[in-house]
Amino acid sequence: MSEETQVGAFYAGKNIFITGGTGFVGLCLIEKILRTIPDVGKIYLLMRPKKGKEISERLQEFPTNPVFEKLLTTESKDVFNKLVPISGDVGSQDLGISSTDRQTLIDNVNVVIHSAATLDFEESLKPTVKINILGTRQVMELCQQIKSLKVMVHVSSAYVNSYLKEVDEKVYDSPADVESVISMADKLTEQALIDLEKTILKKHPNTYTFTKHLAEHEVKKCADKFPCTIVRPTMIVASWKEPVIGWTCSKVGPQGFLMGAAKGVVRRLPLAKDNIADYIPVDVVVNQLLVAGWNAATSESGLTVYHCSSSTQKPFRWSIIEPVINDILHNYPLKSAVWYPYLSFVPSLWLFRLSAIFVHFIPAVLLDTLLRIMGGKPILFRLHKNVWNSLNRLEIFIFTEWKFHNKNTRELNDKLNKTDKEKFYINIESMYWEEYFVNLHLGVRRYLNKESEKTLPAAKNKQSILKMVHIVWQVLVITLVWFIFALVTGLTMIQTSWCPPVIYFFYSLL
């Protein structure tokens, strides 16, 4: 007879308050709770109106989200009755929650999982301070008022200490006086904050890591008042096993790269292929949030920090899949591709910018022109321009190797019984990265590019046509350059017959 789930038993009958429940991690977390902890109480979701839709309307859309497909094979839509929308905004005063809803939370909630944050690396200090620091402070103030709080789980980021190359699972000294930062963000103009940003951030690469670091100290202040724990994921990517293999709704990181590469519009990636890139599947993150909450509530270990990471346990390097990346793209093409997909890695930003002129921007202009002629909306040039403009801020994350030690996470896994190790798996030792990236691409194909398996035959037929077009295009480009070279040198094209292979060689380096 299998052992009972200790983690599931803890959450049974508990009411949970979740911020960030409509995000990538939040949706997967809700699905996991509803599917594997049927006896859970109410799940209160902090939500705000979006795109003209009230929170009740947004909640009604949940059953149509692909993340819940597996859940709905065994449960009716009545399972969503456990979800209770709470109107509010983590960036507003008192979280934007009405006094009535606040009292409901105070009287009924047992577990708080704070996942909401602004993740934009380009964002200025004003909104990031308001959401990441003050939002966390106000969540902690609410927690202190809740009558029967068993645990508070804070979703942080491994990159809050990105000024270090090796990071342990502890809260590092505050990078600044939080009250001074809050005061500056409140009183100074946007431009004044931008002018002072480097001075304020010091060693931090952006406002996100800086404010999330300060937010951890807001949690630490309350660690002696009620059980708290901090989980620091690295770059969160598509699901490994659950709810379905390869599920994602995020275009961040490799998911966005593969989405563009499958379309044929992203053809070069700037990266250090032999560096460790720390990716962690979203289902592992969700499991760790639940397991960390259970452990903090049922033990007296104080404030424990967990790295939800792969760099020191199952390291991934892009060189692992470089030999097969184009096979993956070609084996599972898109019907909606606009060019023959081919992806290669470049080792520096200057080389990427040079190659982008020829393989991104020039084709983008041609394809955007074609879209205009056909009555469509030109988007490719703008897309590549946005990438170009963001590269300086992203450079540190593209070319730096971090090691996030996860001793606490491994010890946490050892505490789980056999049932919970299977049901709430947080051990990634058995992950096979080549297989994972095939499934990641299939997930991107289905959930981001919205193409089912039924479109594969048509997609492969189109790919054959695009390949011929691509070959013709290369021949035309090489011939044009050959002709210009002959014209400039005053030689005939026969005399310069050695040019085409040389041109092709240098073109392939771009």
Query: Does the structure show a pLDDT above 70 at 212?
Result: yes
Q: What is the DSSP string of 444-472?
A: IIIIIS---GGGHHHHHHHHHHHHHHHHH
Q: Comparing 8 with 389, which gets the higher pLDDT?
A: 8
Residue 501, classified by CB atoms within 10 Å of its CB into exposed (0-12), middle (13-18) or buried (19+), is exposed
Q: Over 50: is that where the pLDDT of 308 sits?
A: yes
Q: Is the pLDDT of residue 88 over 50?
A: yes
Q: Which residues contact 213 (CB under 8 A, 6 or more apart)?
A: 160, 161, 172, 174, 175, 204
Distance of CA 468 to the CA centre of its chain: 35
Q: How far is CA 373 from CA 237, 331, 377, 465, 466, in A?
A: 37, 31, 10, 21, 20
pLDDT average, residue stretch 194-214? 92
Confidence of residue 56 (pLDDT cuts 50, 70, 90): confident
| pLDDT 10s digits, 406-447 | 999 999 999 999 999 999 999 999 999 999 999 999 999 999
CA 307 to chain centre: 16
- Alpha carbon 436 to its chain centroid, in Å, reads 16
**Which range (179-188, 288-297, 387-396) has the least confidence?**
387-396
Q: What is the DSSP string of 279-324?
A: EEEHHHHHHHHHHHHHHHHHS---SEEEEE-STTTS--BHHHHTTT
In the predicted structure, residue 372 carries a pLDDT above the cut 90: no
Name residue 470's amino acid. H
pLDDT tens digits for range 231-284: 999 999 999 999 999 999 999 889 998 999 999 988 999 999 999 999 999 999
Rounded alpha-carbon distances, angstroms, from residue 398 to 211, 228, 387: 21, 32, 13
The answer on pLDDT for 75 being more than 90 is no
Cβ atoms of 345 and 327 within 8 Å: the answer is: no
Lowest mean pLDDT among 76-80, 201-205, 214-218, 354-358: 354-358
Q: Whole-angstrom Cα distance, residue 387 to residue 59?
A: 33
126 vs 380: which has the higher pLDDT? 126
Binned at pLDDT 50, 70 and 90, residue 509 comes out as: low
Mean pLDDT, rounded, for 32-43:
96
**What token pair was written down for 37?**
């902890």
Predicted pLDDT at 510: 62
Is there a cis peptide before residue 315, judged by omega within 30 degrees of 0? Answer: no
Q: How many CB atoms lie within 10 A of CB 40?
A: 18
Range from 368-372, 424-428, 498-502 that averages highest in pLDDT: 424-428
Measured torsion, CA atoms of residues 421, 310, 236, 273, in degrees rounded to the nearest 10? -150
pLDDT(121) > 80: no
Spatial strand order of the sheet with 83-87 comes to 83-87, 43-47, 16-19, 111-114, 151-155, 228-233, 304-308
